Amino acid sequence: MKYFIQGESKINFTKTDFVAEGGEGELYAKGDQIFKIYNDPKKMISVAKIQELARLDKPNIIRPQAVLLDNKDRIVGFSMARVKQSVALPRLFTND
């Protein structure tokens, strides 16, 4: 699958880059970044919100960094820093 990081370069994802899938979309990893690709881009947070969140500079906040486009220049997701050995926040509040 070919995508483009807005204002940067193209990026290809393969099956080996796949990390997880949820109700909103899929996650792919490349190096020190994770890419969230929405199943329905209409449900994605707005580009303005991504840009606003990207300004947060605390190292303990994982936030969107860049917008991800498909080969038709449609916004389909975003990138964020990859954190290994982490726990999803909802797991801290459940008995799972």
What's the CATH number where 22 sits?
A: 3.30.200
pLDDT band at 96 (very low <50, low <70, confident <90, very high): low
Residue 91 belongs to a domain: no
Residues 76, 44 contacting (CB under 8 angstroms): yes
Residue 12 has pLDDT above 90, yes or no: yes
Q: Quick check: helix, strand or coil at residue 57?
A: coil
Q: Where are the alpha helices (DSSP H) in the chain?
A: 47-54
Residue 90 belongs to a domain: no
For residue range 48-93, list pLDDT tens digits in order.
998 899 889 887 888 999 999 998 989 999 999 998 777 777 778 8
The rounded mean pLDDT for the chain is 88
Residues 2, 42 contacting (CB under 8 angstroms): no
Which has more confidence, 85 or 9?
Answer: 9
Enter the pTM of the model: 0.81
Residue 73 belongs to a domain: yes
Q: Which domain holds residue 9?
A: 2-84
